[in-house]
Amino acid sequence: MDLAVLEELNAERAARRAVVVVTELGSGRQRLVKAADIAADPLAEQLAEALRTAKSGLLTLGNERLFLAVEVPPPRLVITGAVHIAQALAPMARLAGLDVAIVDPRTAFATPERFPDVEVHAEWPDVVLPRLSIDAYTALAALTHDPKIDDPALIEALARGCFYIGALGSRRTHATRLDRLAEKGVPREALARIHAPIGLDIGAASPAEIAVSIIAEIVGELRRRPAADKRASGQAA
Amino acid sequence: MASGLAGMSTAREDDVLEAAARWRHEGRGVALATVVETWGSAPRPVGSHLVIDEAGSFLGSVSGGCVEGAVVAEAAEVIADGAPRLLEFGVADATAWQVGLSCGGRIAVYVEKLN
């Protein structure tokens, strides 16, 4: 591999953009294809499929064996609400391999003391989320119960195609939330992507148990990849 | 932006690729090994990386420890002559008795020089 290719690869990874490195195993020839350039590539169909499944693998073309190295951004969890559930959810998510960021404009909640070693932003979601460039490799858990904080985050997450979007609250709270978001112009079919009440139904009672149900639901969306199809076409999950 | 993950002990794949670039900039001879195919219950998924320098220092993993020694040895050759190699390890392979994949799987590892 040329150092220039490797550095381009590292730069794309740092910017949380997906790429595929195509290597001809016979000749050692190599090229890097950015996600944005795949449609124009001779292997467009195969590269798109590799990106969709996020799986690296071999491809045989005539006599040539190619290796497609798919490099997608590491999964990330953004939580609105520096609340009790978040205190349990953040370390669990990190153990499960997700990068974690917490957003809560209430400075009494969003403190480093309550969230040691976690990226905490004591700002409004509509200010900080564009900067975090949340994407299809990001999960959003809205945990504040406060529409002023959760609603803008949910709208941004839906617009950005986050692979998982969950919101805390009872069915009745959620019905009200759906009406509110619809009034703000979010299409009903997009709203169906929100998991609410958040988390798998395991009868969770304590904040830690609710965190378990949420992380399990997120892993389910991450690993059972059919959701990727729906994300790509903007359908409801 | 700080990721907040700097304290994690597990080498993530991006750390491995960043180390590869950094080592090369330091003037070291560097090889990159990548799992390109697995059969059965292989310990590390396709796409996993191991970066090796000319002194035999390495970072990352292609097998959870089973065949790293053999890959590091081959990497020295790759760094010396610049030609990439495709290595296979598995229980059906004679060399496997020496370097052994305890899990019973087989893996193919592509080793290339970083130019």
Residue A41 to residues A18, A24, A61, A146, A223: CA-CA distances in angstroms? 15, 15, 15, 46, 27
Q: What would the pLDDT profile of B24-35 be if each residue is shown by its tens digit? A: 999 999 999 999
| A201 vs A233, higher pLDDT | A201
Whether A27 shows a pLDDT value over 80: the answer reads yes
β-pair type (A19-24, A30-34)? antiparallel
pTM of this structure: 0.69
Predicted complex ipTM: 0.79
CB contact (8 A) between residue B115 and residue A28:
no
Taking residues A135-163, report their average pLDDT. 95
Q: Does B7 touch chain A (CB under 8 A)?
A: yes
User: Least CA distance to A67: which residue of chain B?
Assistant: B36
In angstroms, the CA B104 to CA B39 distance is 9
Mean of all residue pLDDT scores within chain B: 80
pLDDT at res. A10: 93
Instruction: Tell me, yes or no, if B112 comes closer than 8 A to chain A by beta carbon.
Output: yes
Q: Which of B46, B84, B114 sits opposite A6 (nearest CB)?
A: B114
B114 and chain A in contact, CB less than 8 A: yes
* Interface membership of B32 toward A (CB under 8 Å): yes
The residue in chain B having the minimum alpha-carbon distance to the alpha carbon of residue A6 is B21
* A232: pLDDT strictly greater than 90: no
Per-residue pLDDT tens for A192-206?
A: 999 999 999 999 999
Put simply, the answer to whether B14 touches A118 (Cβ < 8 Å) is no
The answer on pLDDT for A155 being more than 70 is yes
Q: Does B115 sit within 8 Å of A70, measured CB to CB?
A: no
Mean pLDDT across B20-44: 91
Comparing B5-19, B24-38, B99-113, the range with the smallest average pLDDT is: B5-19
Smallest CA–CA distance, residue B102 to chain A, in Å, is 23
Instruction: Note whether A58 contacts B37, CB cutoff 8 Å.
Output: yes
pLDDT number for residue B2: 35
Average pLDDT estimate for A216-224: 90
CB pairs under 8 A between A and B: 72
Q: Give me the pLDDT at residue B11, please.
A: 52
- The percentage of chain B sitting over the pLDDT mark of 90, rounded to a whole number, equals 54
Residue B41: band (very low, low, confident or very high) from pLDDT cuts 50, 70, 90: confident
Q: What is the mean pLDDT of residues A217-235?
A: 64
Contacts of A3 (CB under 8 A, 6+ apart): B21, B24, B25, B114, B115
Please give the residue of chain B at the shortest CA–CA distance from A115.
B4
E-strand stretches of chain A: 19-24, 30-34, 57-61, 64-71, 76-80, 99-103, 119-121, 138-142, 164-167
